[in-house]
Structure 1
Amino acid sequence: MSEPLVAGVELGGTKIFVVRARGREIVDRMMIPTTAPDGTLGAAKQILLDWHSQEPFSALGIASFGPLRLDRTAEDFGRMLPTPKPGWTGADIFGALAEGLPCPAAIDTDVNAAALAEAYWGAGIQEDRPSDCLCYLTIGTGLGGGFVFNGRPLHGAMHPELGHILIRRAEGDEFPGVCSFHGDCIEGLVSGPALARRFNVSGDAIPATHPHWDFVAHDIAQLVSTILLTTAARRILIGGGVGMGRADLLDRVRSKVIEQLNGYLSFVTHDSIATIVRTPALGEQAGPLGAIALALDALERDNKG
């Protein structure tokens, strides 16, 4: 039996990818700059309609930057919640992309979707089966986090907003942070804009020997330790430009996690930490494959009725 043809949309703050795949293998990919909602979503929808007329796809997955309303019982399901991105607050992401397509569709945050892809096909695979508890962090322009528990992305009243967790600061670190809501929440301390403000230079130009990297590693380790203590995650994947761009930083984070937990979690040891806290296996493909994972998940649920 051939793999189903499905479509996916990965909506980012600067660009949007529209993909279609047979099973998990992406066979077509198109990129659109993210501008105003009507133009961006309209262009993506036209690609989907053209593809569907050529060969109908079986399901659609939408992985979008947030915050999003993901409660299907809510009147504003699938819409963008208040966001600093100009013009996007209230944008009907799900409706603009899925309406009129005769197939099941799903929407989730880009980080939840990436977590799902890693759980299915990447770093979440353990002993030939998906991890039962995985967290995906992306550290770049902002800081986002998603979870997959027992094969399903985590939702409640909303989706996780890990970027705005407040952490215990390192002694001697006086950097006030850059978050417009909370100042020194974790996003305000370690995102790309935060690093540029903290170091007065872009992150990729900061030497690894700069002493303030110790503060950054401490802060990220505080977040990782919090996640381990609250969820006992088997994997915490750190992606994004900051997360994947500095192997030396990841090593520092691991050491500080061990130090901060101080032996309290028996499964977090010097021998295991590198397998627990690591980079995504799918790399930059986690995003578009996340949209495909959502589509395949929607198709599976629809087939089960």
Structure 2
Amino acid sequence: MMAYYGAIEAGGTKFCCAIGNEHGDILEEMTIPTEHPEKTIQQLIPFFKQHDIAALGVGSFGPICVQKDDPSYGYIMNTPKVEWKHYPFIPELEKQLGVPVSFTTDVNAAALGELTKGAAKGLGSCLYITVGTGIGAGAVVKNELLHGHSHPEMGHILIRQDESDTFAGVCPAHGNCLEGLAAGPAIEKRWGKPAKELTQEEAVWALEADYLAQALMQYSLILSPERIIMGGGVMKQKQLFPLIREKLAAYVNDYVDLPPLDTYIVSPGLEDKAGMTGALLLAIQAKRNA
């Protein structure tokens, strides 16, 4: 008899839920808006119960607590989504579904999905970065998700602001960190239009590529991933990829040997399903570990 597994990619605006099999294949999907926690949870519980899932994997917006010995394990922490702040997300799912639940960030889940079934398949490490409403990145190192005291928050690193760019940044915590300068809302506020309406504006993408290349240099020097996968709404501007590669090469300046940049910095092989696929793989792991 086939076992079914559940997956949740929990985002700030929507929850994408899926049922899959033991091979990590998505069989059925459902999307609901992100509302008050209790209302959101009650909408998704019947979807998983009707399939009698064996385990659940969750990739979530954050910050989240991933330390299993911490009393707040499985909680959403100091998120800007006020209703979800300090909400016991995973304990509530475990209580209502009665199955093992595995938990990580949405971008860590996407990194796992891409390493296992996407653009980094066959490698031992990769970094997945999303550039959209926010900027976040997750990493898999030696086939293990990167967690430590907490989880990576790579979107909030500090970068050198271009001398011509007087924009203050939009990050409520740090102002002009990477996310504050280069996420979708920063592009729109700086230039007066959303990214999708600025496709032909060369200055927009030269500046964006510069900031993202600075970040990729730091990630490459610190983590040395075998591949970097860049997704999210802003990265649908395909002209960014060659610009980022060119800028990264200039910044690294032959100090270290990177793989060929056209295969090192790539778009997601799973397109918009990377996070959901990774969450499904987490569910399969949770069942094995149980």
Return the TM-score normalized by structure 1: 0.91
Q: Secondary structure at the match of 1:68?
A: coil
Q: Secondary structure at the match of 1:171?
A: coil
Equivalents in 2 of 1:3, 1:186: separation in Å? 45
1:5-154 equivalences under 5 Å are 5-22=4-21, 23-52=23-52, 57-125=53-121, 129=122, 131-154=123-146
Of residues 229, 233, 244, the one that matches 1:237 is 229
User: 1:181-222 CA deviation, whole Å, 9 max, x = no partner?
Assistant: 111100001111000011111110013333232111110000
1:210 and 2:202 matched: yes
1:157 and 2:144 matched: no
Contact 2:231 2:268 in 1 (8 A): yes
Change in Cα spacing, 1:38 to 1:261, as seen in structure 2 (3 Å) is same
1:102 deviates by 4.1
Equivalents in 2 of 1:15, 1:36: separation in Å? 12
CA root-mean-square deviation? 1.4
Q: Secondary structure at the match of 1:265?
A: coil
Contact 1:136 1:146 in 2 (8 A): yes
Change in Cα spacing, 1:25 to 1:212, as seen in structure 2 (3 Å) is closer
Q: Give structure 2 stretches of 5+ with no counterpart.
A: none
Equivalents in 1 of 2:209, 2:266: separation in Å? 14
Return the TM-score normalized by structure 2: 0.95
Larger mean CA deviation between 205-214 and 66-75 belongs to: 205-214
Larger mean CA deviation between 256-265 and 99-108 belongs to: 99-108
Q: Percent identity?
A: 35
Contact 1:44 1:97 in 2 (8 A): no
Amino acid at match of 1:44: L
Amino acid at match of 2:185: P
Q: Give structure 1 stretches of 5+ with no counterpart.
A: none
Number of residues of Structure 1 aligned to a counterpart in Structure 2: 289
Equivalents in 2 of 1:4, 1:224: separation in Å? 40
Equivalents in 2 of 1:181, 1:190: separation in Å? 15
